[in-house]
Structure formats: structure tokens, C-alpha cells
Amino acid sequence: MTATLVVAPAPPAHRDPRVLRWLGAYTASTLGDSVYHLALSWAAVRGGTPAEAGLVMAVSAVPRALLMLGGGVVADRFGPRRVVIVSDTVRCLLVLAVAALVLVAPPTLWVLAGIALVFGIVDALFLPAVGALPPRIAPHDQLARVQGMRGLAQRSGAVLGAPLGGLAVALGGPGVAFAVAGLLFALSLPLLLALRLRPLTGEAEKRNGTAFGDLLDGLRYLRGHRVLGPLMIVIALSDLGFVGPLNVGLALLSDQRGWGASGIGWVLAGFGAGAGGASLLLSVKGRVPRAGAVLGWTMTLGATSIGAVAFVPRLPFAVAVALSIGLFAGLSGALCGALVQTECDPAYLGRVSAVSGLMSLGLAPLSFPLTGAAIGLWGVGPVFTVSAGVCALAGVHGLAVGAVRRAELPG
């Protein structure tokens, strides 16, 4: 008789200790990021004019956009786990040092701008590495569920981080808030150090001689991929049409309607609830049949809701429309992320995540001043309608490209 080796199936992502360690570390880091940004903005507002405070908050976006592609190369060259650990260590030490400085003497705006600059450089390394970790901690058929869990962690950080930071500021000023952020970054480190990665297969060890060669290789891989190349266009168009109305247009709309700052909060809460519901759906279900087609249709329908919110006269109806925007945008965004994870060779995932992040965090925010200027010239309704059209174009493009439309998540 011959013995037969029976391999136990891998546990689902929500029961996998490796995934749960990663999720705990990511949640702590996301919370720390939210608290840090609130503390920085409060310290900047207390130390200068509103325009100067806005400049301090914008400083970190420049190195993040310029260095993001290089961060993808670093993640693929040295391994995403190592890069994430180093990044969170630097963020922890930096923010704790700022906390000590603030408790001794109020920092100048130049000091705050320097801190924001360093934080942006670290972000350029951290974000692509985070995007490259999931295939190294979960089986291929669990990556969609992991993406949903990551979305829930992001929403939790946004929802809980702001009040936590506000409470810390109220109790002890920005110094205490910086200290809380540093401790949250520190909390992620033991979880990351205990994380053991799955071995990669396929092209995992392929490298060129130089970092620039790696970057070109990654861009060629992305351009030639039948799903990922068109998907980057979908992501760019959807973010370009979406972030301006959400970040700039919503404040102007609320002011015109007389809803006030609380109205902005309620609308954003509706959006967050919808997006969180979409992430929860993907976390529980694990797989959405005909993912590429669903992505295209939800993006197109979500665009209709974006256009509609500008014509809603009453706040409760605006919150309901924002809920639908969050649901559609959350689901399409989670499916985009899941398809990137499952379609991409893990050896290139740092660079591909960097390109995706550059679209969302580097290029799309350039629409902020254009959105504000356009609303000043033509009003809220026409600008929201054009933005909705850009988002709809993203969905139509996904549906028009057969490889994207037919893309499936493993199950």
C-alpha cells in the first residue's frame, strides 16, 4: 500500500491568521495616518493663516506623486514586507519625534512643512508595497475577499481616525494627537514582524540590472497586458471625474444649499456607509461573477448618481444619493483592486500598484483647482454633470474592452 498525502485546504481569508495579522497591522497604520493628518492640519492652522495651513497639507502630495513609481520598483526589488516594516518604523519615529517637539515648543510652519515632506516620501514607498502584499499572504482565490477586507479597514480608519484624533487634540493638543498616531504606527510593527509570506511562483525572481530597467520592464508589462493596461485607463478616468466633486464640489454645493458644515458631514457619512457596505459584500461573498462586466456597469450607474446629487434640493435626499454613490463607487473600486491583484504577476505588483496609486493620488488631485474654478464660472450643476460624464466614460471603456468586460475573479 502507498500512503497518500492529503493537503488541507487553505482557510478562508477571514479565518487565516496570516491575513488577520496583515489586516490588523494595516488597520492600525490607517488609523495612525488619519490621526496624524488631523494633528498636522490643526497644528498648521494654529501656527499660520488658512492659506499657509493648506500649503503645509499639500506639501506631502508632491514627493508622493513624483516618487510613487520608484516606490513600486523598491517594493518589487526588496520585497513589500520589508518596505512596509521600514516605512511604518520611519513614520512611527518621525511622528513620535514631532510629538516631543510640539510638547516642548510650538513648531514653525517650516518645520511642519518639512515633516509633511518626509511623510510624503515615505508614503511613496509604503503605498505600492501595501498593494503588493496580498498575493504573498493569501491564496489566489481569496484575493478578492482580502481586497474587500482592506476596503473595510480603510473605511474604519477614515471613520474612527478623525474622532480619535479630535479627542486627542481636545485632551492635550496636537502633541498628544501626534503621540497617539505614533503609537498606532508602532502597533503595526509586531504584527508585520510576525507575518510570514507565501512563496511566489512564475516570474517572481525576474529582475533587470538597474532600478530604471526594472521600472521600464514594469511599464512594458503593464502596457502589454490585455486586462491591466485598459484597467489603468478605467481607474484614471473614474478618479479624475470623481475626486473633484467629492472633495471640492461638495463643500460648494453644501454652501449654496445652506446645509452648512454638518451637511457635508452627513453626505460624506452616506457615501462612507455605501462604500463600506460594498467592501463588506466583497469580504463576505469573496467572488462576484462576471466581475469585469459588473465593474463597468456599477461605474456607469454610479456616475449617474454623481450627476444627480447636484440637483437634489434637500439634505436627506442628498444623503440617500451619496449612499448610492458610495455603494456603486465602492464596489467598482474594490473590483478594480481585486482584478489588479488577481491578474498581475506578483513580481510586478509593486510597480503596477504604483501606477494605479499615481492615477488616484498623484494625477486626480490636480483636478481640485480646476473643479473649483469651473464651478465659479458655470455653477455646480454643469460641473457635476461633466464629472459624471467622465466617470461614465470610464465604465463604458471597461465594457468596451472585451478582455476587461470578460475578466473574472478566481473562486
Asked if pLDDT for residue 7 goes beyond 60, the answer is: no
- The whole-angstrom separation of Cα 149 and Cα 16 is 12
The x, y and z cell numbers of residue 308, run together, are 444627480
390 and 291, same structural domain? yes
Per-residue model confidence as pLDDT tens digits over 152-171 = 888 888 778 878 888 888 88
Q: Report the b/e string of 316-332 with b at 16+ CB within 10 A.
A: eebbbbbbbbbbbbbbb
pLDDT attached to residue 207:
54
pLDDT attached to residue 154:
84
- The whole-angstrom separation of Cα 211 and Cα 224 is 20
Q: Furthest-apart CA pair in the chain: how many Å?
A: 83
Question: Exposed, middle or buried by CB within 10 Å (0-12, 13-18, 19+), for 268?
Answer: middle
Asked if pLDDT for residue 74 goes beyond 70, the answer is: yes
Whole-structure pTM value: 0.85
Residue with cell 456607509: 273
Q: Which has more confidence, 373 or 119? A: 119
pLDDT attached to residue 411:
67
Per-residue model confidence as pLDDT tens digits over 303-359 = 999 889 889 888 899 999 989 999 998 899 889 988 998 899 888 999 999 999 888
Q: Give rounded-to-5 percent helix, strand, coil for the chain.
A: 85, 0, 15
- The whole-angstrom separation of Cα 131 and Cα 271 is 24
Range of lowest pLDDT (239-253, 343-357, 386-400): 239-253
361 and 271, same structural domain? yes
Q: Which has more confidence, 396 or 262? A: 396
159 and 244, same structural domain? no
Q: Are 399 and 296 in contact (CB under 8 A)?
A: yes
48 sits in the region (left: phi over 0; alpha: psi -120 to 50; else beta) called: beta
327 and 291, same structural domain? yes
91 and 187, same structural domain? yes
Q: Are 19 and 13 in contact (CB under 8 A)?
A: yes
Q: How far is CA 29 from CA 65, 79, 156, 205, in A?
A: 20, 19, 11, 29
19 and 94, same structural domain? yes
Angle of CA points 66, 72, 76, to nearest 5°? 155
Give 59's pLDDT tier (boundaries 50, 70, 90): confident
Q: How many domains does the chain have?
A: 2
Give 255's pLDDT tier (boundaries 50, 70, 90): confident
- CATH number assigned to the domain comprising residue 162: 1.20.1250.20
337 and 257, same structural domain? yes
* CA nearest neighbour of 122 among 78, 67, 186: 67
The x, y and z cell numbers of residue 14, run together, are 477571514
Per-residue model confidence as pLDDT tens digits over 21-48 = 999 999 999 999 989 988 888 888 777 7
Q: Which has more confidence, 1 or 241? A: 241
* CA nearest neighbour of 21 among 140, 208, 116, 153: 153
Average pLDDT over residues 115-134: 90
Q: What is the DSSP letter of 108?
A: P
The x, y and z cell numbers of residue 359, run together, are 492615477
362 and 334, same structural domain? yes
Q: Which has more confidence, 127 or 7? A: 127
Angle of CA points 228, 233, 238, to nearest 5°? 120
Per-residue model confidence as pLDDT tens digits over 274-296 = 888 888 888 888 778 899 999 99
State the Rg of the chain over Cα: 21
221 and 193, same structural domain? no
Mean pLDDT of the chain: 85
Residue 174 sits in which domain range? 13-139+152-198
Percent of the chain whose pLDDT exceeds 90: 38
Q: Are 357 and 349 in contact (CB under 8 A)?
A: no
- The whole-angstrom separation of Cα 173 and Cα 43 is 9
285 and 183, same structural domain? no
269 and 171, same structural domain? no
Average pLDDT over residues 213-241: 92
Look at residue 6 and tell me if it is in a domain: no
Per-residue model confidence as pLDDT tens digits over 168-223 = 888 888 889 999 999 999 999 999 999 888 776 544 445 556 888 889 999 999 99
pLDDT attached to residue 50:
63
Look at residue 147 and tell me if it is in a domain: no
